A and B are shown apart, each in its own frame.
Chain A
């Protein structure tokens, strides 16, 4: 059974820092991995999708990498801003499955 872990559960940093958010998964036979952002009381917003054949994806200040063999993905946030404060969720879609398995998320606070 696939398990997805995000450590730490919370992170508080000053504005301007470059951040690395970690996601690990137990079964490397994934189809893709998706990073989401969730603001308090809101739905999930997709940030980046990495297919199993890809090593990384970039969107603006965000860069996500994938290492299937080690069961890890990282989300890099450059020059963090208070507006980046949110919970970040990692989710894995297993090969041969349509279902997403989520980590429990990491709550990020960027202080001005």
Chain B
């Protein structure tokens, strides 16, 4: 178990508000990722990090920002939530044995 914890597990927020999702890992993995999962689209990469303060964009990064000030924490921020950002968000780490995913955060923007 890669020891990945996502918080919160569920969140309902209003359009236009900022939202931050947290991913915490306990095993000092260098690479961390944020994906979103939507019906009909599957899992798509939002942002990823390859070290403290080192991040890069994925294929669906518009409207999202990330920060990694410590190895163990990778934060995903929705600057101003929109209904199109209603989704399930997964954090992941990668290691030699492949990717491991967290349990997900279900976000609803109303």
Contact = CB atoms under 8 A, between A and B. Distances in A.
B40 A104 contact: yes
B78 to A, nearest CB: 20
State which size class the interface on B falls in. Answer: 20 to 34
B contact patch SS: strand
B97 A44 contact: no
Contact of A32 (B41, B44, B98): B98
B50 A89 contact: no
Nearest to B90: A43
B52 interface: no
B12 to A, nearest CB: 16
B70 to A, nearest CB: 20
Contact of A46 (B41, B42, B44, B99): B99
A104 B100 contact: no
A46 B100 contact: yes
A46 B98 contact: yes
A13 B42 CA distance: 23
A11 interface: no
A103 interface: yes
A98 B31 contact: yes
Interface string B21-54: 0000000000101000000111111001010000
Given A100-B43, A102-B43, 16 more contacts: A34-B98, A34-B99, A43-B90, A43-B101, A43-B102, A43-B104, A44-B90, A49-B97, A98-B48, A98-B94, A99-B48, A99-B58, A100-B33, A100-B94, A100-B99, A105-B42
